[in-house]
Structure 1
């Protein structure tokens, strides 16, 4: 799994237990999944359709640095299915896992649109082609 983004846990990210609020973490995951999908599908019109069961395995505290990893599970006709792991950057302890995040490519009318992608592409390889 590739870890693309790091977040610093700040006071405004905490719940009453002084640990990272789950809703904040899920928002970070959703944003990361959207950015990853937009880049992979080369389309700005990608939305979250489904997020499977989540598994909180440990917590993060103020000052911790967490990193978000995304991996492609499969390419659908108009969708991209991802899995995610968030871990503590310093200890590599897993904070949360999400086995299935389904992102859907949309047309200008908000309907699913085939994206034509079948494998992971890296931007550096696209630039080398051009």
Structure 2
């Protein structure tokens, strides 16, 4: 699992129990999954289709720094499936797990479109390949 983003839990992120509001955390996860999928599928019109059961394992409190981890677990014809884990940066205690997040690439008409990807690509490698073809 690679951890891509860190968030600092601030007062506006808390629920009435003074712990991290689950809705805020899901917002952060959805945004991170979208960014990851957009970069991988090279399609800015990539959207969330499905999230499996969400398991809130531990809570986070004000001042905690959390990190969002994503791991690709499969490519479909029009989709990318990810696994997610959020943990406390300092203690590495798991806060939430999501076994499956399915992101779908859309075409100009808003319908799913084939992306042609079969494995994770890194931007640095794409840039190297692009520079090699321009020579």
Local SS of the residue matching 2:117: coil
RMSD: 0.4
Residue matched to 2:111: 111
Larger Rg: 1 or 2? Answer: 2
Q: What does 1:1-130 align with in structure 2 at a 5 Å threshold?
A: 1-130=1-130
Local SS of the residue matching 2:35: helix
User: Could you tell me how far apart the structure 1 residues matched to 2:125 and 2:97 are?
Assistant: 29
Give the C-alpha shift of residue 56 in structure 1.
Answer: 0.4
Give the C-alpha shift of residue 102 in structure 1.
Answer: 0.4
Local SS of the residue matching 2:127: helix
Give the C-alpha shift of residue 127 in structure 1.
Answer: 1.0
Q: Deviations over 1:14-37 (max 9, x none)?
A: 000000000000000000000000
- After superposing on structure 2, the runs of 4+ consecutive aligned residues of structure 1 that deviate more than 4 Å are none
Give the C-alpha shift of residue 89 in structure 1.
Answer: 0.2
The TM-score with structure 2 as length reference comes to: 0.96
User: Could you tell me how far apart the structure 1 residues matched to 2:27 and 2:2 are?
Assistant: 19
Unaligned runs of 5+ in 1: none
User: Could you tell me how far apart the structure 2 residues matched to 1:123 and 1:116 are?
Assistant: 16
Local SS of the residue matching 1:86: strand
